């Protein structure tokens, strides 16, 4: 006992006396820290410091405050925004024929272009003072989603000017003169913008672009002015073929030191009229055969005045941070909107098709194999809608949550890819024949575009989510990095000493907290609610603690090598991502009044999230370089093993059953899906057939009863069966007409397009 007391006293003295602690602990650790976590480069620092920490910070630090989550305002459309949805958006949708746009015209019709420009579709984010609509992020997202269920080409055309580009950058960083010059024209549709970042040898990583600008003197409007001589070669630039104003990202150099002492100023963004001498708009691309405008631009020795830098000369070299912060719009609004649109369309149409299409004498939706896929489609769509609303809501809080939007971009596009594959499996041959009746084909063709743009998904998952989360969301790491980079060694040591003590306390708290929660299975965690979802909050709190512990150990053991251990860091990123996704679902459920009918969707979503968290942590433990540490961590987090499982089949079937019948729940889940008027539109036809088959069921029951009694034959064509049923008074003439109409709709809805030889000559396919 005396030895333990002595050790405790020594520990208190070592930790409590500043001089002793600094010499025995802080200095050695500080030296080690500087070796394993070298100071960030300027580019890395700007990326890490850009954007805001939001709910992701709570999740990463191991103690999520669920009341704080519930207190976040519900994202909703204003009356003005809803009116725009009900009028201008609906008018636009009726003007679109996506098959003709993609397969025949290879562009939006001129009248559609004009309608979009005249009615402010390019002006959603521009303030009213400049003639814009000044809509919220949730309105922007909802409008793009709704349009995308009708036409991906139209949706992309609308979303790009309202995403990363001249308008977004001007509003955040532009000079007053630049705003006055460009924003009114952009709002009125007189100016069409594009933003050129990607090049032949550099994707969304602006740090690797070869395009250059050199500060020099040159002629502009007959005068010698200080400016930039540009050389660039860009590709994959959406709207480039029709743009009148080009946003350009390049590396800026000042070899003559005309602006100051630095010769390498860094990434810079400028705004250039495409009519400016030397600006070249090159060939057009066709991304996955879609018809939205996309192409190349290049220029050689193009001289522009310094005032064309977005933000003016003071923003020379500050483009990287500008881009990282503004990428949140693309990652948090546009791409999640497209992903959610895929879910709304696939859910409504696949549910209808599964009921209308019959095999072996019954609807294919009654087969368990189909129910498995259909249930996943419905549950994923619920999660997608929850994430769309919560993420856009964050942007409406005037935040730029870079980690959250990276999570949304990666996981929402991957989920939409999965559910679209499921929809194709269920539709089978109905889905693979391209033609006017196929409402899934163009979305399927365009899916890889969302996976690729705004940072390819491999990059987003393996480098961005945990890479930024580890430094931005951790309460001490970024400050410790800054202390290590302090040129004043003594001052840096003092800063580090204070941070280290708090970090040790944080780590110890997570260690013992994770063990306690592992031993108790999280049962004693608090929950802001009671009832069905209470345990989900408790388990998510437990896994949040597990993430905090695992992240600390991985950074301590691996240091700077962690960012090269992409498979390991990606798994921790998956844990953070699924914690966020589950949070979004729980908040969505609460915000919508805790609807009992939503519970199967909530159960499926959260149980899947917990399963994926367990799977990610298990993979992390299995592959962690130090086997001793790996075993320790797994014992702390899962002392009794990983108990999380995928949702039970019964939950999947509950969801599937919802999608197989008309009702409020189905309408709510797919409220953004465009349904055409009349039977000429493929979505309208499928919906009409679906309703008709349901309405005909009382009459069909009479037929089935007669067949069971052998009064009517079983295996004859439907038209003959109806005629026979009328002849023997099983059904009335009016009921027969109802069945004939139902059968016509049913057969037409499951039919596919075919074309006579030569009909497609000159078309895209």
pLDDT digit string, tens, across residues 61-93? 899 999 999 999 999 999 999 999 999 999 999
At residue 200 the predicted structure's pLDDT band, cuts being 50, 70 and 90, is: confident
pLDDT tens digits, one per residue of 444-502: 999 999 888 877 888 888 878 887 777 777 776 766 666 666 666 666 667 676 676 77
Given a cut of 80, is residue 9 above it in pLDDT? Answer: no
612 is catalytic: no
Q: Which pTM was predicted?
A: 0.92
At residue 11 the predicted structure's pLDDT band, cuts being 50, 70 and 90, is: very low
CA 763/CA 96 separation, integer angstroms: 18
Given a cut of 60, is residue 309 above it in pLDDT? Answer: yes
Whole-Å CA distances, 479 to 45, 48, 482, 573: 12, 12, 5, 21
Given a cut of 80, is residue 14 above it in pLDDT? Answer: no
79-188 folds as: Butyryl-Coa Dehydrogenase, subunit A; domain 1 (1.10.540)
The helix/strand/coil state of 732 is coil
CA 651/CA 297 separation, integer angstroms: 51
- Indicate left, alpha or beta for 164 from its phi (over 0: left) and psi (-120 to 50: alpha): beta
Q: What is the dihedral of CA 338, 341, 347, 348, to 10 degrees?
A: -150
CB atoms within 10 A of CB 508: 10
Looking at residue 497, its pLDDT comes to: 67
Given a cut of 60, is residue 38 above it in pLDDT? Answer: no
The residue extents of the domains of the chain are 29-68+463-647, 79-188, 193-309, 329-461, 696-750
Mean pLDDT over residues 265-293, rounded? 94
Q: Which helix (H) or strand (E) holds 229?
A: strand 223-238
Pick the range with the lowest mean pLDDT from 35-49, 262-276, 402-416, 532-546.
35-49
CA 232/CA 211 separation, integer angstroms: 5
Structure tokens at 292: 């939205």
Report the CATH architecture of 193-309.
Beta Barrel (2.40)
Query: How many residues are given for the chain?
Result: 765
Looking at residue 42, its pLDDT comes to: 60
Query: Residue 486 burial (CB < 10 Å; 0-12/13-18/19+)?
Result: middle
Residue 534 in contact with residue 496, Cβ under 8 Å? no
pLDDT tens digits, one per residue of 705-752: 999 999 999 888 889 999 999 999 999 999 999 999 999 999 999 999
pLDDT tens digits, one per residue of 607-629: 999 999 999 999 999 999 999 99
The three state secondary structure string of 554-608 is HHHHHHHHHHHCHHHHHHHHHHHHHHHHHHHHHHHHHHCCCCHHHHHHHHHHHHH
Instruction: Return the axis-axis angle of helices 152-159 and 137-148, rounded to nearest 10°.
Output: 160
At residue 240 the predicted structure's pLDDT band, cuts being 50, 70 and 90, is: very high
User: How much of the chain is in helix, strand and coil states, percent to nearest 5?
Assistant: 65, 10, 25
Query: Residue 110 burial (CB < 10 Å; 0-12/13-18/19+)?
Result: exposed
* Choice among 454, 480, 612, 654 that is catalytic: 454
CA 239/CA 193 separation, integer angstroms: 7
329-461 folds as: Butyryl-CoA Dehydrogenase, subunit A; domain 3 (1.20.140)
CA 596/CA 593 separation, integer angstroms: 9
**Average pLDDT along the chain:** 89
> Strand 212-220 to strand 193-196: parallel, antiparallel, or no bridges (unpaired)?
unpaired
Structure tokens at 223: 């005068």
Helical residues (DSSP H) of 17-89, grouped into ranges: 18-21, 27-36, 42-49, 55-60, 66-71, 79-84
Looking at residue 4, its pLDDT comes to: 47
């Amino acid at each position: 006992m005396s030895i333990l007391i002595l050790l405790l006293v020594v520990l208190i003295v070592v930790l409590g006396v500043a001089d002793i602690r600094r010499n025995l602990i802080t200095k050695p650790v500080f030296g080690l820290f500087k070796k394993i976590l070298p100071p960030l480069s300027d580019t890395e620092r700007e990326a890490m410091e850009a954007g805001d920490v939001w709910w992701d910070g709570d999740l990463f630090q191991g103690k999520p405050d669920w009341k704080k989550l519930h207190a976040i305002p519900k994202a909703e459309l204003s009356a003005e925004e809803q009116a725009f949805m009900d009028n201008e958006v609906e008018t636009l949708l009726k003007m679109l024929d996506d098959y003709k746009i993609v397969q025949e015209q290879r562009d939006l019709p001129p009248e559609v272009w004009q309608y979009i420009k005249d009615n402010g579709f390019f002006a959603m984010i521009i303030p009213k003072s400049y003639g814009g609509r000044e809509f919220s992020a949730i309105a922007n997202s909802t409008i793009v989603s709704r349009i995308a269920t009708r036409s991906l080409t139209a949706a992309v055309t609308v979303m790009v000017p309202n995403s990363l580009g001249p308008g977004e950058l001007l509003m955040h960083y532009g000079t007053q003169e630049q705003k006055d010059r460009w924003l009114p024209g952009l709002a009125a549709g007189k100016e069409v913008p594009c933003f050129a970042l990607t090049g032949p040898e550099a994707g969304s990583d602006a740090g690797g672009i070869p395009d250059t600008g050199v500060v020099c003197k040159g002629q502009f409007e007959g005068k010698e002015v200080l400016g930039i001589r540009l050389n660039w070669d860009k590709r994959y630039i959406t709207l480039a073929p029709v743009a009148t104003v080009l946003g350009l990202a390049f590396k800026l150099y000042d070899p003559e030191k005309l602006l100051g002492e630095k010769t390498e100023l860094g990434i810079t963004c400028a705004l250039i009229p495409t009519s400016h001498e030397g600006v070249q708009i090159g060939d057009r691309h066709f991304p996955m055969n879609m018809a939205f405008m996309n192409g190349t631009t290049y220029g050689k020795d193009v001289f522009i005045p310094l005032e064309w830098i977005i933000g003016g000369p003071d923003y020379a070299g500050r483009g990287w941070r500008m881009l990282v912060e503004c990428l949140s719009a693309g990652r948090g609004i546009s791409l999640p909107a497209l992903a959610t649109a895929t879910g709304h369309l696939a859910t409504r149409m696949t549910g209808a098709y599964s009921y209308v299409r019959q095999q072996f004498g019954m609807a294919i939706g009654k087969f368990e194999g189909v129910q498995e896929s259909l249930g996943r489609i419905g549950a994923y769509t619920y999660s997608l809608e929850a994430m769309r609303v919560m993420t856009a809501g964050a942007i409406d809080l005037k935040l730029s949550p870079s980690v959250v939007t990276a999570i949304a971009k990666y996981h929402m596009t991957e989920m939409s890819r999965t559910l679209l594959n499921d929809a194709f499996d269920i539709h089978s041959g109905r889905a693979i024949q391209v033609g006017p009746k196929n409402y899934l084909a163009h979305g399927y063709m365009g899916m890889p575009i969302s996976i690729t743009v705004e940072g390819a998904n491999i990059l987003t998952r393996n480098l961005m989510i945990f890479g930024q989360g580890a430094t931005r969301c951790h309460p001490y790491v970024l400050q410790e990095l800054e202390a290590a980079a302090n040129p004043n060694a003594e001052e840096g040591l003092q800063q580090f000493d204070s941070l280290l003590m708090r970090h040790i306390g944080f780590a110890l708290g997570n260690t013992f907290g994770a063990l306690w929660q592992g031993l108790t299975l999280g049962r004693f965690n608090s929950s802001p609610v009671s009832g069905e979802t209470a345990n989900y909050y408790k388990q998510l709190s437990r896994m949040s603690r597990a993430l905090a512990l695992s992240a600390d150990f991985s950074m301590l053991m691996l240091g700077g090598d962690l960012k090269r251990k992409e498979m390991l860091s990606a798994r921790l990123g998956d844990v953070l991502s699924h914690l966020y996704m589950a949070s979004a679902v729980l908040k969505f459920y609460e915000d919508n009044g805790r609807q009992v009918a939503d519970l199967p969707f909530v159960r499926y979503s959260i149980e899947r999230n917990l399963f994926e968290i367990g799977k990610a942590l298990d993979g992390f433990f299995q592959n962690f370089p130090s086997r001793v540490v790996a075993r320790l961590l797994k014992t702390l987090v899962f002392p009794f093993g990983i108990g999380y499982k995928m949702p039970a089949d019964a939950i999947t079937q509950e969801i599937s059953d919802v999608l197989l019948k008309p009702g409020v729940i189905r309408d709510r889940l797919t409220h953004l899906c465009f349904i055409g008027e009349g039977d000429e539109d493929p979505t309208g036809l499928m919906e009409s057939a679906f309703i008709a088959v349901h309405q005909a069921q009382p009459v069909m029951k009479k037929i089935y009863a007669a067949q069971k009694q052998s009064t009517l034959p079983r295996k004859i064509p439907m038209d003959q069966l109806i005629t026979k049923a009328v002849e023997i008074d099983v059904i009335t003439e009016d009921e027969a007409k109802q069945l004939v109409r139902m059968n016509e709709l049913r057969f037409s809805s499951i039919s596919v397009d075919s074309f006579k030889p030569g009909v497609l000559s000159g078309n895209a396919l």
